[in-house]
A and B are shown apart, each in its own frame.
Chain A
Amino acid sequence: MLHTVNKSPFDKNSLENCLRFARKGHSILLFEDGIYGALKGTRFETLIAEGLKSSTIYVLVPDLEARGMRMDNVIDGVKATDYAGFVDLSAENKTVQAWL
């Protein structure tokens, strides 16, 4: 299953709740303002680190770069992807849920 999160964790609890319901082997894509959840040094870093133990977490690089960040700023273990990768992830997972 693929979960998509497009909200900053500082604004809404979408990321927290997504991680609450994500199960082992699920994929999570952080895009739009969701990319702020992928960054090092925020108070959500431990939450993401915990999530990485059971899920694969991706960050959409175009959204990251648009916001003045690079993969260097992203928590280790979070994978980079782009729109083509987003399409692949959606095709690979039978169920896709958007955490708006």
Chain B
Amino acid sequence: MEDEVIKKFLYVNRKAPYGTIYALESLEVVLIGAAFDQDVSLAFIDDGVYQLKKNQQTSVSSGIGVKDFSKTYRALEGYDVEKLYVDKKSMEERGLSEDDFLVDVQVFDEAQMAELMEQQDVVLSF
């Protein structure tokens, strides 16, 4: 069956959460996409690394009043989406370390990230 083709999908996240909707709607694609049993990876580059920051608080009563969707990144594992890669330079130049993230990620240097990108069949950038 044609549908049984397994392709390498890479979601490239380069935008911070909340300021725009891209991070949230990108995550919605990842969740729906998980049902298709493809080989999925997520890359966090530039301000995209901020999507994974711990302790996001957006309460309606005392905050910006927008749904905190960051917990969804923790649920990804349950959908077999386990390959999350963070660009080392983007992380470091923002003064962040792996301890700042709410999920386990692999920190990739340029060569590793470039290799990951090159292997992909479908790259969806948000």
A residues whose Cβ falls under 8 Å from a Cβ of B: 1, 13, 17, 20-23, 94-100
Is A22 a contact partner of B114 (Cβ separation < 8 A)?
yes
Is A1 a contact partner of B118 (Cβ separation < 8 A)?
yes
What A residues does B119 contact at CB under 8 A? 95
What A residues does B117 contact at CB under 8 A? 1, 21, 95, 97
What B residues does A13 contact at CB under 8 A? 46
Minimum CB–CB distance from B111 to chain A (whole Å) comes to: 8
Is A95 a contact partner of B125 (Cβ separation < 8 A)?
no
A-B contacts counted at CB < 8 A amount to: 35
Task: Tell me, in angstroms, the Cα distance from A13 to B47 when the chains sit together.
Answer: 11
Contacting B125 at CB < 8 Å: which of A1, A20, A23, A98?
A: A98
Chain B, 36-95, CB within 8 A of any chain A CB: 45-46, 89
Minimum CB–CB distance from A16 to chain B (whole Å) comes to: 10
- Closest A residue, CB atoms, query B89: A20
Is A17 a contact partner of B121 (Cβ separation < 8 A)?
no
Q: Is B107 an interface residue (CB 8 A)?
A: no
Q: Is B96 an interface residue (CB 8 A)?
A: no
Q: Is B102 an interface residue (CB 8 A)?
A: no
